Amino acid sequence: MSSSGTLRIRVDSDKCQGNARCKSLAPELFELDEWGYAREIGDGTVPAGLEDKAWLAQANCPEIAIAIVEE
């Protein structure tokens, strides 16, 4: 994992099944819509210090619906 760039998360709404593990693990990064499906908060930029939570949420998504892009 590179610490020099900014991380951005994206939730693939077609893959998300609403398990909300990401929200449980990283409530600062994910929110749930009115049907219980996850989406990234704001534009998906991961604030400094929350990178580990982003990777943890991605690793724990059973649908592999979370992408992380290093910018």
* pLDDT for position 2: 46
Q: Answer whether residue 1 is part of any domain.
A: no
Query: Please, which pLDDT band fits residue 64 given cuts at 50, 70 and 90?
Result: very high
Q: Answer whether residue 22 is part of any domain.
A: yes
Backbone angles phi, psi at 56, to 5 degrees: -65, -45
Give the CATH number for residue 65: 3.30.70.20
What pTM did the predictor assign? 0.90
* pLDDT for position 4: 63
Domain count, the chain: 1
**47 pLDDT higher than 80:** yes
Sign of CA dihedral 63, 67, 68, 70: positive
User: Which residue range is the domain that position 40 belongs to?
Assistant: 7-70
Q: Answer whether residue 2 is part of any domain.
A: no
Residues facing residue 31 across a β-bridge: 39
